[in-house]
Amino acid sequence: MPELPEVEIATRNLRDWLSGERLERVDLPASRILRGASPDELSALLKGRRVAAIERRGKWIRIRLDGDGLLYSHLGMTGKWVRRDRKDPAQRYERARLDTRSSSVRYLDPRLFGRLVAAPRGEPLDAWEALGPDPLADGLDARKLAARLSGRRSIKEALMDQSVLAGLGNIQAAEALWRARIHPQLTAERVARDPARVRALARAIHDSIGYTIAGELGPEITYVEEPGADNPFRVYGKAGQPCPRCKRPLVRIVQGGRSTFYCRRCQKR
């Protein structure tokens, strides 16, 4: 499932493919991913316009068009942007197509949890405005992190709250907690009271994001849940496999309905 690192890679790719280019052809078949405007209105917003900038915040991408128009993209659970040749036919699960003079960018989304939201006059998007600091774009240090962690919910659930930090999901939260040697069921306030733990966690979030981006960077991403995909993570999805640090088998628990993977030896309560 796409989280900050995968969305950052998508953003970099979209910049390479679309920045400064004029959208010569736009295909937007009606689907529930399209929001904020009808497919026809959305096409009219995009067609013939030049892409001025592409930004990311958390798991959201924002495509800024010449003038006021904005197009927000959220990849949901299975969405991805890929580049194809202009002469290539519609792809399986293709939900949007943006062609420039030289290439054809397609948005694929089998499960349709993604979103393409039009803001024709640059209207703010609530989901974007509500995001907390982005660890990559805004930087993250221990003081800033401690100030955002509070309450009796688990540290893992706090890290996944997009208003606390933008971009971490189930995977990056588990990876960062393993790197920082923090038990995922500790409460957020208990972690916040321990400066050494908070420092380790801030560093771990940074390291985990960087590690994942470096490992997955490329023009076409495969998500870990897809059949036959590699698992590029240290602990996520690896219950029963040896901890990369101490070799004890990793375990899986369920928190808030989601799987958490951790090491009982490295991550003591």
Residues with catalytic roles? 2-3, 59, 258
Beta bridge partners, 154, equal 187
User: Smallest gap, in angstroms, from Cβ of residue 232 to Zn ion?
Assistant: 19
| Choices 23-31, 86-94, 230-238, 242-250; region in contact with Zn ion by CB under 5 A | 242-250
144 binds Zn ion (CB under 5 A): no
CB 103 within 8 Å of CB 97: no
- For Zn ion, which is the closer residue by CB, 84 or 238? 238
| Choices 75-83, 89-97, 168-176, 245-253; region in contact with Zn ion by CB under 5 A | 245-253
Q: Helix H segments across the chain?
A: 4-18, 39-46, 126-129, 142-148, 155-160, 170-179, 188-192, 195-216
User: Smallest gap, in angstroms, from Cβ of residue 248 to Zn ion?
Assistant: 5
263 binds Zn ion (CB under 5 A): yes
User: Smallest gap, in angstroms, from Cβ of residue 237 to Zn ion?
Assistant: 16
- Give the integer Cα–Cα distance in Å for 240 and 90: 41
| Choices 106-114, 154-162, 201-209, 255-263; region in contact with Zn ion by CB under 5 A | 255-263
- For Zn ion, which is the closer residue by CB, 54 or 266? 266
264 binds Zn ion (CB under 5 A): no
| Choices 30-38, 101-109, 216-224, 237-245; region in contact with Zn ion by CB under 5 A | 237-245
| 246, 253, 256, 268: which one binds Zn ion (CB under 5 A) | 246
User: Smallest gap, in angstroms, from Cβ of residue 202 to Zn ion?
Assistant: 21
Closest CA to 53 of 68, 43, 38, 37: 68
N-term to C-term CA, the chain: 28
Q: What is the CA radius of gyration of the chain?
A: 20
**How would you classify the pairing of strands 115-119 and 34-35?**
parallel
What is the H or E stretch that residue 116 is in?
Answer: strand 115-119
Tokens of 13: 């790719």
Site residue total, Zn ion (CB under 5 A)? 6
- Give the integer Cα–Cα distance in Å for 165 and 235: 21
| 243, 260, 261, 262: which one binds Zn ion (CB under 5 A) | 243
Binding positions for Zn ion, rule: CB under 5 A: 243, 245-246, 263, 265-266
